[in-house]
Structures are given as structure tokens and as C-alpha cells.
Amino acid sequence: MQDPNEDTEWNEILRDFGILPPKEEPKDEIEEMVLRLQKEAMVKPYEKMTLAQLKEAEDEFDDEDMRAIEIYREKRLQEWKALKKKQKFGELREISGNQYVNEVTNAEKDVWVIIHLYRSSIPMCSLVNQHLSLLARKFPETKFVKAIVNSCIQHYHDNCLPTIFVYKNGQIEGKFIGIIECGGINLKLEELEWKLAEVGAIQTDLEENPRRVIVDVMVSSIRNTSICDDTNSSNSDNDDTK
């Protein structure tokens, strides 16, 4: 079969009558590279710059660029503010008693505040602090703080520790006082997360109360043990009557 791109007189005649398509010109790799670089050059450099870099390079742009830059800068600024607002806290901070009012009671409007009153000599308090530190990173939009109880309340009884208060707009929305209310000495991270979510302080992705699962397993285990005991007792009675 004859190559339609072959340089022959017959092929030229066929092309003139439109029977064959125009001959394909060999691609020029250099020309293609130039076109690609030109296309890349059309991307405005400010679209790859940070806000600080934009400020430094203002003198290098014309009026049209500056108008586009202002729009772009405003967009980036709003994105940055939204991110900072969402990730405002992100850690469990230590405060003293004289900071309580400003940091907790008078905290920013509509901000949830979780404060743990603790004593370092109580193991359960250390466990709660570990869990709260992890939850603070997971829920940076909620404010997590801790304070040594003596700096806030004098003569506070150890039986009431750990104590967790949950505030919003100056009001106590939830409280967990003592080991039992806080979840017991074997408190799991997910259990504390669920407790705080129930009062609205955080938006958890847990679908069910992890504590309930444990309780259900315990109840089932106790029920099975009871059935076994009843069966053994019945068998023993039957043996005695023989």
C-alpha cells in the first residue's frame, strides 16, 4: 500500500483534487518546546506566591496585574482566616486560678471551653490530662485548659477529683465530678470523647457510645455466668437425689 505522505507526483495530484489529505508536516520538537514554555509563561506568577511574597513583588506588576492581585490576596486572606479560626486552639493549656475568669468564664463568644481541675498526685487526673491533650489536637476549635485545683478552689476534696467543667458563653453546660462521673480508673479516650460530645463541646465522629458496648459485653458475660451457675446447681441437685 502506497504511503499517502510519500513525496510523489501522483500523490501531489491526488492532494490537489482533495482525494488525499494534506501532507503531514514533521513535528518540530524545538517549536513545540517554545510553545509549551509560552503557555506556561501565561500563568500569572502571583498565583504561586505567598501573601508575603506578593507584598515584596508589588513593584513588578502593572495596573491590571495589581487589580487581579488584590482579588487574589483577599481570597487567600479569607482562606487563611477561616483556617486560623477553625484551628484556633489545638492544645491543652495550663492556666492559673487568677486566669480562670478571663480564660474560661469570659472566653470568646460561642467558644466551647473545657477545663480540668486536677491534682498531679492523683493518677486518674494524669490519665484525664493525657486524654484531653489528644482531644485538644483532634478538636482545635474547642478550647481545652487545665488548672491545679488549689489555685482555683481552696480545700477542694480529693474525692471530687478529677473535675471537668464545660463552659459556653459564661455558663456551665456540663460537669463531671469525681472518678465515677469522669468514667472510672480505666477511662478510655473514646469514652471521654463521647462524654464531651454529649454535652455539645465537640463534634465527634463516633457513631455510638463506646462505654455502652463494654457494658453490653459485661452484662452478657454476667448473664452467661449466671446461666452456667444455675445449670451446675441443677445438675448438683439431681446428683444428690440419686
- How is the chain split into domains, by residue range? 93-199
Helix (H, G, I), strand (E, B) or coil at 93: strand
pLDDT attached to residue 3:
61
pLDDT attached to residue 240:
55
Q: Rounded to an integer, what distance in angstroms lies between the CA atom of residue 193 and that of residue 189?
A: 6
pLDDT attached to residue 13:
73
111: left (phi over 0), alpha (psi -120 to 50) or beta: beta
Q: Rounded to an integer, what distance in angstroms lies between the CA atom of residue 107 and that of residue 114?
A: 11
C-alpha radius of gyration, the chain, whole number: 36
Of the candidates 161, 159, 167, which has an alpha carbon nearest to the alpha carbon of residue 196?
167
Q: Rounded to an integer, what distance in angstroms lies between the CA atom of residue 226 and that of residue 242?
A: 25
pLDDT attached to residue 87:
61
Order the strands of the 143-148 sheet from edge to edge.
92-94, 143-148, 112-118, 163-168, 171-177
Q: Which one-letter DSSP state was computed for residue 154?
A: T
Report residues of the chain scoring pLDDT below 70: 1-7, 17, 20, 23-31, 33-51, 53-66, 69, 82-87, 213-242
Whole-model pTM: value is: 0.57
Number of neighbouring beta carbons within 10 Å of residue 28: 10
Architecture of domain 93-199: 3-Layer(aba) Sandwich (3.40)
